[in-house]
Amino acid sequence: MATSTSSKLNKAVKQQYMDLPQGDKVQAMYIWIDGTGEGLRCKTRTLNCEPKSVEDLPEWNFDGSSTYQSEGSNSDMFLIPAAMFRDPFRRDPNKLVLCEVLKYNRKPSETNLRYSCKQIMRMVENHHPWFGMEQEYTILGTDGHPFGWPSNGFPGPQGPYYCGVGADKAYGRDVVESHYRACMYAGVQICGTNAEVMPAQWEFQVGPCEGINMGDHLWIARFILHRVCEDFGVVVSFDPKPISGNWNGAGCHTNFSTKEMREDGGLKVIEESIERLAKRHMYHIRAYDPKGGLDNARRLTGCHETSSIDEFSAGVANRGASIRIPRLVGQEKKGYFEDRRPSANCDPYIVTEALVRTCVLKEDVGEPTDYSK
């Protein structure tokens, strides 16, 4: 199995240095989404004291021409701290800092989807929108081959791997356990994990989170996963269909509810929301992967526990539908619904924003409404 050369460096030697006292200084790792809308970048600065809130963190900048975000002739981009977490790699008092990116004119960069999401969530804060996102991913070697798969062929067909136990069924559990504990240390609202249907494919769940916090916590959980995989010398892929053929793809199923849905009789509100989602199917498909639906077209085929990308469907306990109402929700007549369409590489900010626009703000046109006018 191809692993990175750096993973073979002596970690015990590194730990000698990591155990050195750092005085009153604090390392803050600034993290942002690059111009691809999928990649994460990071760099570290020293602070003179431990920040107690985001407001204590200074703005910073970076070279956007090296991250697909600007031209070299005008390359400075601004990093605006948006959310702060404990650093599970350097440990307390050090921090992970999720940032928004602004262009030279202080307007949000094209892939800063948090900016708009934040405005929309403020408009509906009285509805208390809750989200839970189920992030599927695949562990690969540095050669792009799924971790643990035979070098010249395929493992046995799907069936024994989902929630499986044993060296012949669970590939890469060390990564999963390390990521889980690191997220808990960081303060990420991680709530579970399991092996998925395809071998070397796993899932973790984040939530429930209210409003903008959903996107913040999922992006940091992704960053931590990339870093954990880096230490193990493997690669995490969020590609929605990493292996073609008779193998499950990778999604980011999104559970959604409002205060009204969670109260007695909330099923009626859920059903009304599903009717609005049906009328706006293609708007959501365009929002649910970074390439406007092209990535998801490889996954949403109507097979392998997915709905068809061209048709909207809904049902109770139906994992082949666009929208699934959990059986318990149908029985209790209140709760939440699951949108199974978002791809594994979706941006959680635009997914959660799209759900709020359609279900709470009741937009019914093909494009999102501009509320700034």
The Cα–Cα gap between 282 and 311 comes to: 9
CB within 8 Å of 132: residues ≥ 6 apart: 191, 205, 206, 207, 208, 209, 214, 254, 255, 336
Residue 323 neighbours by CB distance under 10 Å: 21
**Is residue 285 pLDDT above 80, yes or no?**
yes
The HSE-up count of residue 20 (CA atoms within 13 Å, CB side) is 7
Residue pLDDT, tens place only, 25-63? 999 999 999 999 999 999 999 999 999 999 999 999 999
Q: For 260-288, what is the mean pLDDT?
A: 97
β-strands 26-33, 235-237 pairing: unpaired
Q: What is the predicted pLDDT for the residue at 70? A: 85
The single-letter code of the amino acid at 26 is V
Is the peptide bond preceding residue 93 cis, with omega within 30 degrees of 0? yes
Q: Which helix (H) or strand (E) holds 211?
A: none
Residue pLDDT, tens place only, 232-263? 999 999 999 999 989 999 999 999 999 999 99
Question: 309 near 293, Cβ under 8 Å?
Answer: yes
Instruction: Retrieve residue 38's tokens.
Output: 């999928």
Question: 241 near 249, Cβ under 8 Å?
Answer: yes
Q: What is the predicted pLDDT for the residue at 71? A: 77
Residue pLDDT, tens place only, 330-359? 999 999 999 999 999 999 999 999 999 999
Residue among 3, 104, 93, 113 nearest 47 (CA): 93
How many distinct helices (H) and strands (E) make up the chain?
10, 13
**H helix runs in the chain, sequence order:** 11-18, 114-123, 173-186, 213-232, 259-262, 266-279, 281-287, 294-297, 327-332, 348-359
Residues in the chain: 373
**Is residue 74 pLDDT above 80, yes or no?**
no
The Cα–Cα gap between 144 and 242 comes to: 9
The Cα–Cα gap between 84 and 220 comes to: 9
Q: What is the predicted pLDDT for the residue at 372? A: 82
Q: Which domains does the chain have, with CATH numbers?
A: 21-111 (3.10.20.70), 121-360 (3.30.590.10)
The HSE-up count of residue 2 (CA atoms within 13 Å, CB side) is 9
Measuring CA to CA, how many Å separate 277 from each of 21, 177, 246? 54, 36, 29
The Cα–Cα gap between 230 and 292 comes to: 29
Residue among 212, 33, 216 nearest 118 (CA): 212
Measured between alpha carbons, how far apart are the two ends of the chain, in Å? 55
CB within 8 Å of 237: residues ≥ 6 apart: 137, 138, 139, 140, 250
Q: For 6-22, what is the mean pLDDT?
A: 94
Backbone angles phi, psi at 78, to 5 degrees: -100, 135
**H helix runs in 233-265, sequence order:** 259-262
The Cα–Cα gap between 39 and 53 comes to: 26
Question: 113 near 123, Cβ under 8 Å?
Answer: no
Instruction: Retrieve residue 76's tokens.
Output: 């400075």
Using a cut of 0.95, tell me whether the model's pTM lies above it: yes
Q: For 90-103, what is the mean pLDDT?
A: 97
Q: What is the predicted pLDDT for the residue at 1? A: 63
Q: What is the predicted pLDDT for the residue at 143? A: 93
